[in-house]
Amino acid sequence: MPEGHSIRRLADVFVRDLAGQELRAGSPQGRFAEGAALVDGTVLRRAEAHGKQMFLGFAGGRWVRVHLGLYGKWVFGTGEPPEPRGAIRLRLQGPGADGEGVWADLRGPTACEVVTTAEKEAVRARLGPDPLRRDGDGGVFAERVARSRVAVGALLMDQAVVAGVGNVYRAEALFRARTDPYARGVDVGHERALTMWDDLVVLLHDGVRRGSIVTTAPADRPEGHRRGRVRREDAHYVYKRTGQPCRWCGTPVLTAEMVARNLYWCPVCQAGLPEVGTLPPAPPAASRRTRTAATSRLPLLTG
């Protein structure tokens, strides 16, 4: 399932290529015909992402809410769109900046509906804070973690706790924080959760910039592959590395199921909870909060 950085990138594409244009909307598949008719011939004003949800805002106060789920995807193109094939739930067409035409096809989403502004905000109110949004509040995230007796590995997958984190970011954020995924939120506590939030802000913004998820520091990648484009096999510390040696201690990475998804962790580096004072803050440039903490080996993302 696409994680928050991917949805933010999609929203940015809509803003860049389609916003401000009067769009034709249709549903070649037919399942969204009534919804498409409501926004057909209206101007796309904005596109927003909140976690894994995207909202396309049209003139007249209507929004198209899209949740891609596991199988949904957007395909973009210029010029005349091809003849519809397969299950295209929604097709949007505009003149494009150069008048040559631009289009976007939506296939296989979990949700696609037209909502009012009030309904949109009601959806957002059910979501946790998004590390990519300016209104994302790490204090809210930390409070929800610290008051829960649920395992922190499960909390990170709960979109009502934090929006936009999926299986990759869960595994990698917990490893980088040297935190046992089975530790209860109440034991992780408020300060550790704040530090984890700061790191998620860094990781997701880096994902938007790259267009992919990279969580390893250059020093933790093989020699000869520490600069330039990061290979897929070098991009993560534990995600999908079952049985391979931990990049820090050499212990084989473990996997187990948690909230119906595979969890990956190092049983040595993540054996418990580190002292609060040993966890560093996120790099100042990536955080809007000023915090102080002792520095330690939270890897910074460069290269």
Is 120 part of the annotated catalytic residue set?
no
Query: Among 8, 52, 62, 65, which one carries the catalytic annotation?
Result: 52
Indicate the SS3 state at residue 115: strand
Is 28 part of the annotated catalytic residue set?
no
Strand partners, 161: none
Distance between CA atoms of residues 146 and 37, nearest Å: 46
> What are the distances in angstroms from CA 79 to CA 13, 97, 242?
16, 11, 45
Strand partners, 73: 107
Instruction: Let me know: does 103 contact 92? Beta carbons within 8 Å.
Output: yes
Query: Among 107, 210, 261, 291, which one carries the catalytic annotation?
Result: 261
Residue with tokens 């860094």: 202
Is 261 part of the annotated catalytic residue set?
yes
Indicate the SS3 state at residue 47: strand
> Which tokens go with 196?
């984890």
Distance between CA atoms of residues 132 and 202, nearest Å: 9
| Residue at 99: amino acid letter | G
Torsion of CA 170, 176, 178, 183, to 10 degrees: -20
Instruction: Give the DSSP H or E segment for 153.
Output: helix 152-155
Strand order in the sheet with 53-58: 73-78, 102-107, 88-94, 22-26, 42-50, 53-58, 62-67, 111-116
Query: Among 3, 62, 129, 144, which one carries the catalytic annotation?
Result: 3
Query: Among 2, 28, 129, 281, which one carries the catalytic annotation?
Result: 2
Strand partners, 111: 67
Is 284 part of the annotated catalytic residue set?
no
Q: Which residues are catalytic?
A: 2-3, 52, 261
